[in-house]
Amino acid sequence: MSFQKLDELGRRLDALDHALSILGADEATHMAVGGGEARAEAMATLAGMAHRQATAPEIDDWIEAASQEALNEDQTAALREFRRRHLNLTCLPAEFVERQTRTRMRCEQLWRDLRARNDWANFQPALESVVDMVREEAHLRADALGLDPYDALMEQFDPGNRVAEIGPVLEDLKTFLVDFVPKALAVQEERLAKRPLKALSGSYPIEKQRELGLAMMAAVGFDVTHGSLAVSHHPFCGGVPTDVRITTRYRTTEFLSSLMGVLHETGHALYEQGLPREWSHWPLGKARGMSMHESQSLFVEKQIGRNPAFWQWALPVVERHLGEDWSMDDILPHVHRVERGLIRVDADEVTYPLHVILRFELEQDLIAGRLQVVDLPEAWDAKMQAYLGLSTIDTPADGPMQDVHWPSAFFGYFPSYTLGAMIAAQQWAAITRENPMVEQGFAEGRFDAVNDWRREKIWLQGSRWSTPELIERATGEPLNAEHFRRHLEARYGE
């Protein structure tokens, strides 16, 4: 049977993906600096091997023949995803995949060193090489998929996303936020005038923060027998569903940024751990795009981790690990702190979307050739001043060097963050309609209700539905940005 051949191919490709994922996670966390060049070569070779197997000429015949076979419902859905993946993979020659893997890995390795030194001059040539290759990739994909180049890149991270559809949504959100941020700051100042912010102690040993992070991960549902927590330059969730690798970074002067990072990455991990195991080697068994993935991580970070009910349970846990005794009135102003800042991963949920929209706009210009890498610091600074009133012109480490995404050739990914925030707010609205007492569970350290809902509606669906279909089936309505606006206004407005 031809479908059986596709099934066997899926197992081989899944094994190669497993190896690449673990090598990548290790490279970012434990690999010695001197191992970078050899690791890049090894991963490029494996990536080329996987690409050649996934694009072998006979696969077209297998897909066509399988479409004539008597398949069950799961197999029919799997065949559709096999076909979609095959089309996207055959856009790129194996030689290009190997070359791009080497280029992006070396750039990422340089980024780790040069960002710490604020060294844009030496980073710029490496990023230019990545951008040149991403432009080439965008045109190869666009020709094969019949899409505009930037749409073709977004398709790899979130099938179905198009600038024509999400661009106006993000533009409307930007207009709302540029007006709302000053209002939220004014509300915050009024509250702080009545009760000044209690300073945190400023002494939080890394090992104590790590223990707190592990306790929180386990409490919200992370399976510690199938995952781990480590340190990296940039927080991420990697590995594979049976061995999920979460990372964070620590500051000994405060603990909330690391804890929120851990909760965010745990949201990603819960999605991976909750995917259908029986389909794990099929494209059907993978997560449905990055906006849905980000909705799961942001749900844990924002809808759970910044919910006052969560902190009724969490405060004693924090006290046990960090030794400080706070009241709700002491901690919530820190948890809900709104502040114009330079760093996206440290941003609050009010200003965060403006960081994403800035990148979304810049990378469209980069891919189209309207903007060159050499001009990025000035272009970034102009938008940062317009949206958040801050300047990065003298600190590119806080500007176009701050994220790992561009060195890693992840162009087209950023919109998923804010779309994910919208989806998370919509999922929360649906959950609270169905279960009005869900916050009482948070106060008691119980998160089974929200996890059960997401497991049934999102995780176990894999890639059976398109993102728009999955949103509507789960929440009962198409994507509705009003839920996100109402969430921000309720938490941070008057």
Distance CA 347, CA 135 (A): 29
Record the tokens describing residue 245, joined without a space. 């690798």
163 neighbors 316 (Cβ within 8 angstroms): no
DSSP for 346-415? Answer: G--TTTHHHHHHHHHHHHHHHHHTSS-GGGHHHHHHHHHHHHHS---TT-GGGTTTS-STTTTT-TT-TH
**Residue 361 catalytic?**
no
Between strands 243-248 and 237-240, the pairing is antiparallel
Distance CA 131, CA 114 (A): 18
CA distances from 137 to 103, 252, 370 (A): 13, 41, 17
Q: Is the dihedral of CA 236, 484, 153, 376 positive or negative?
A: negative
Which residues have a Cβ under 8 Å from the Cβ of 41 and sit 6 or more positions away? 102
Between strands 243-248 and 227-231, the pairing is parallel
The residue from 81, 265, 349, 363 that is catalytic is: 265
From the number of C-beta atoms within 10 Å of its C-beta (0-12, 13-18, 19+), residue 96 rates as: middle
340 neighbors 388 (Cβ within 8 angstroms): yes
From the number of C-beta atoms within 10 Å of its C-beta (0-12, 13-18, 19+), residue 31 rates as: middle
Residue among 246, 285, 248 nearest 269 (CA): 246
- The C-alpha angle with vertex 62 and arms to 58 and 64, in degrees rounded to 5, equals 115
Residue among 462, 335, 285 nearest 327 (CA): 335
Catalytic residues: 265
